[in-house]
Chains A and B, each alone.
Chain A
Amino acid sequence: GESVGLHLPTLSVQEGDNSIINCAYSNSASDYFIWYKQESGKGPQFIIDIRSNMDKRQGQRVTVLLNKTVKHLSLQIAATQPGDSAVYFCAENTGFQKLVFGTGTRLLVSP
């Protein structure tokens, strides 16, 4: 599949920097959130998820933060690598079989 959009917000970082990608969600009743990574020509790949009863979850080099007060989700990538270059988008579960996807942020990592 193609990368999402021609005019995506873009975050440019240097290799080794920490990256923070933000997502505002719409439904205060959403109970589950996911971050996906999509490389050019590929399908979305699961990175990390978080349920609404948590405010932080850590994976390998990634951390997701959930702020329900302002309906904000962020993905932090530590020690960003060139292989992290991709489009990242969040998704919120708004109900039974109702996963709503954001449009994405393009992350560009320079060596």
Chain B
Amino acid sequence: NAGVTQTPKFQVLKTGQSMTLQCAQDMNHNSMYWYRQDPGMGLRLIYYSASEGTTDKGEVPNGYNVSRLNKREFSLRLESAAPSQTSVYFCASSPNPQGNEKLFFGSGTQLSVL
């Protein structure tokens, strides 16, 4: 039972490089999310997709783009990475398009931007 799968687990980028973080869930969930986790702060929402075909900005969307490729997959792209984007990134999913049910998280991607 895979749940939420994220790749890669670790990544080091140079400032200005681009990359895409991949996420897939096999629970047939409607909603998917991208969060970042920084020391001393709670998880902060970057973007979410309440249902297939829709995406919306969260609390900290600047510097990121997302694609809800299908119901299973939700990718996060950094077009021009900056040191401020050094963080741990988590993808999550939820069965409820309202977002008011528990989230299921992936194991995270640790990203360093030099």
Contacts and interface: CB of A to CB of B under 8 A. Distances in A.
Contacts of B107: 1, 41-43
B67 interface: no
Contacts of A46: 102-104
A93 B100 contact: yes
B108 A1 contact: yes
Given A99-B45, A99-B99, A5 B39 contact: yes
Given A32-B100, A49-B102, A97-B48, A1 B42 contact: no
Instruction: Please classify the interface of chain A as helix (H, G, I), strand (E, B), loop, or mixed, using the class held by over half of its residues.
Output: loop
B25 interface: no
| Interface size bracket, B side | 20 to 34
Category for how many chain A residues contact B: 20 to 34
B50 to A, nearest CB: 6
Interface string A3-40: 01111000000000000000000000001101000000
B99 A1 contact: no
A31 B100 contact: yes
15 contacts: A2-B88, A2-B110, A5-B40, A31-B100, A34-B103, A42-B108, A44-B105, A46-B102, A46-B104, A96-B98, A96-B99, A97-B48, A97-B50, A99-B100, A101-B44
